[in-house]
Amino acid sequence: MSDWRGNGYEDWPAQVLARRFETLIVDEPVPRVLRVTINREDASNAFNTQCGHDLFAVFHPLEIVRNHFRCVVLTGAGTKAFCAGGDLKERKHLTEDEWVLQHEFFERTFRHVLNCPIPVIAAVNGAAYGGGLELILQCDFAYASRTARFALTEVSLGIMPGGGGTQTLPRIIGERRAKELILAARPFTAEQAHAWGIVNELCEPDELMPRTLAIAQRIAENAPLSVRQAKHSIHRGLQMDLDSAMLFEIEAYQRMVKSEDRVEGVRAFNEKRKPVFRGR
């Protein structure tokens, strides 16, 4: 179920760690945690076309390959910016058709982040503007440096949020505040982002990555089937009425009963030892 053997994905975890991406750094800083760093520090880690392709190459297989990584941490290189959004220096050379095609690919990449079956945590190390903030909103939750800054400024450029911002932000902070921030292109602080629920925790800059990796490792140590089913149940259930969502949760729960990890978890508890989960 989780290995997809025979489909060419068996060695993907090793392959992605060995691959040299043009715009990303990909590593495994703690066991079973995949860290993806947008590595365009000289451009404030803005998305260019290649960055979209590189992110797609990482996140698309994660919908299929579930036999190794159990959590993803997404961040930006340096301390200045998490991601400044779309690279407008590149975009000024695009025709209208090229702009549309590029954006369609970015949309597809963002959907793979949103639909990633394993948890994705953003470690927001600096400015997150435009598509950078929208990328954070696609993640399951985020930790941020106290120096981080946020904004959806698209309407000041003659466009509008197109990476999900008009849909994800209101679901997190409410319609009226989201309208204020989007329609006025109003920047806001890390403290405001924390108060409004956009980020879960604020850290000193040098503590951001250790704190994020600590929660990622805690997630990775739990039963992977259980984590994936719980994430799926939360995300889908919030789009249903409560009665339907409760039934959806029970169906997700029942899938755990016959798993090897359920047997191991109960056995380890009774034997007073740490469980060894295998995702089966």
Does one domain contain both 235 and 202?
no
Is residue 138 situated within a structural domain?
A: yes
Does one domain contain both 126 and 261?
no
Range of the domain at 245: 224-270
Is residue 37 situated within a structural domain?
A: yes
240: CATH: 1.10.12.10
Does one domain contain both 100 and 239?
no
Q: Considering its fold, how many domains does the chain have in total?
A: 2
DSSP string, 202-260: EE-GGGHHHHHHHHHHHHHTS-HHHHHHHHHHHHHHTTS-HHHHHHHHHHHHHHHHT-H
Does one domain contain both 185 and 92?
yes
Please give the mean pLDDT across all residues of the chain. 90
103: CATH: 3.90.226.10
Highest mean pLDDT (candidates 123-127, 256-260, 268-272)? 123-127
Mean pLDDT on 79-91: 87
Tell me the chain's radius of gyration from C-alpha atoms.
19
Q: Is the pTM of this model over 0.85?
A: yes
Q: Is the pLDDT of residue 50 over 50?
A: yes
What confidence tier does 1 reach under pLDDT thresholds 50, 70, 90? Answer: very low
Closest to 154 measured CA to CA, from 104, 217, 198, 88: 88
Is residue 5 situated within a structural domain?
A: no
Whether 154 is a known active-site residue: answer yes
Of 202, 220, 238, the residue that ends a domain is 220
What's the confidence (pLDDT) of residue 9?
63
What confidence tier does 2 reach under pLDDT thresholds 50, 70, 90? Answer: very low
Q: Of 90, 107, 134, 201, which residue is the catalytic one?
A: 134
Does one domain contain both 142 and 187?
yes
Does one domain contain both 189 and 255?
no
What's the confidence (pLDDT) of residue 101?
81
Whether 96 is a known active-site residue: answer no
Is residue 278 situated within a structural domain?
A: no
What's the confidence (pLDDT) of residue 182?
97
Is residue 113 situated within a structural domain?
A: yes
Q: Of 22, 90, 154, 260, which residue is the catalytic one?
A: 154
Does one domain contain both 169 and 82?
yes
Does one domain contain both 31 and 93?
yes
Highest mean pLDDT (candidates 81-90, 136-145, 153-162, 236-245)? 136-145
Mean pLDDT on 246-261: 86
Does one domain contain both 163 and 258?
no
